[in-house]
Amino acid sequence: MALAPPSYCFVAFPPRAKDGLVVFGKNSARPRDEVQEIVYFSAADHEPESKAECTYISIDQVPRTHAIVISRPAWLWGAEMGANEHGVCIANEAINAREPAAETEALLGMDLVRLGLERGATAKEALDVIVALLEEHGQGGNYYEDANSYHSFQSAYLIVDREEAWVLETVGKYWAAERITEGVKCICNQLSLTTKIDAEHPELRSYAQSQGWWTGEDEFNFSEVFSPADDHLACCAGKDSLEKQEESITAQTMIDILRDKASGVCIDSESFLTTASVVSVLPQKRSSPCIHYFTGTPDPSRSIFKPFIFVDDVKLVPKAQSPCFGGDDPARKEPRFQEKPDRRHELYKAHEWARAVLESDEEQGQKLRKTMLELEKQGLEAMEEILTSNDPLDPTEVGDLFYDCVDTEIKFFK
């Protein structure tokens, strides 16, 4: 069984998080050379009978989908992480479980992230969407753009809104979920739910019994029942990073946690790299906007987190989007992945230069890092002003916020 890449997702609620804010973060660990793009889709109405063309299969479309912004591996339809206009954030983790994931092409865990965002106006609604689609279509298919090896995983999700979070863990069509409204929570590439289960598949326990994994007499512990025999370890690196924070958790705290290589939260190994990261700040006060910071580039310790706010007239950012190959895309044709096209976008290419300079660790690298952090700090401070202001947000001022940040970063690297 292939090992799932060691990604981490976090959420912190008040009073651990600052000033009535819910803070969400995710590092996406993926194959080192994979490109992630940042894509915005506006809310849309759909014709009856229309289909949503997911990565491997098409499913029935709903009458209306919400506006979303997502970070996704550029070859697939779904998302590693993202947010919608209603302040719902979702990230997923590839999971190893006792039961291997199906190799049949179905919905990827990443497709379900996007579908949850497009169709759920609250965290609980998104959870209901994901489990209903799981029941109807199942999960399966290659997680990587790779014709030479087939990696299929089960999935876990962290689904967050301004009021609550749900940890959803799935094995095939079976699932369990825990509701969280306080403190901090980390999920990684191992099952984490134990005996506190707030919602579950109606046949979850009878299925576990039928497989001989649970007697029906002991207390039902989800991760003990469904984890591989040799794999029930605590998801410690991320949990420790979050729990040892003595001060209130802010966007900056979450960014620092995601950048931490010593703890293992920021992965940079022979096989995997943190190819993109996100931090979202969801104020519990509904009159304040949610703010989502995306890197769109690999290695958060060498990337700039750039803010995005949902307004009616968001300016699209083609420089953070990969080239489109349409029907000729080797990921869309069968047999799949016979070629690997160059999916690098303009921001990614500009950032490659910065990574090379930073890795050389000469004087120029140190200067560059200082300036990058200064650019990021300006963005964080401007967003802090928006959050603490009593004036209503002027949509015209933030419609091109992410566009301007990407543009400034590219010009700066050139």
Cα separation, 74 vs 324, in Å, equals: 9
The per-residue DSSP string of 161-214 comes to -SS-EEEEEEETTEEEEEEE-SSEEEE-SS----S--SEE-TTHHHHHHHTTS-
Q: Which of 9, 188, 235, 405 is catalytic?
A: 9
Element (DSSP H or E) covering residue 38? strand 36-41
Question: Rounded to 5 degrees, what angle do the CA atoms 214, 215, 218 make?
Answer: 90
Residue 266: how many CB atoms within 10 A of its CB?
Answer: 22
Q: How far is CA 325 from CA 194, 294, 340, in A?
A: 44, 24, 11
User: Is 9 annotated in the active site?
Assistant: yes
Q: Which two tokens stand for residue 410?
A: 């590219």
Contacts of 86 (CB under 8 A, 6+ apart): 66, 120, 121, 122, 161
23 and 17 Cβ atoms separated by less than 8 Å: yes
Cα separation, 330 vs 347, in Å, equals: 23
β partners of residue 186: 10
Counting Cβ atoms within 10 Å, is residue 262 exposed (0-12), middle (13-18) or buried (19+)?
Answer: exposed
Question: Alpha-carbon torsion 331, 332, 334, 339, what sign?
Answer: negative
Task: Sort strands 64-65 and 44-45 into parallel, antiparallel or unpaired.
Answer: antiparallel
Q: Which residues are catalytic?
A: 9
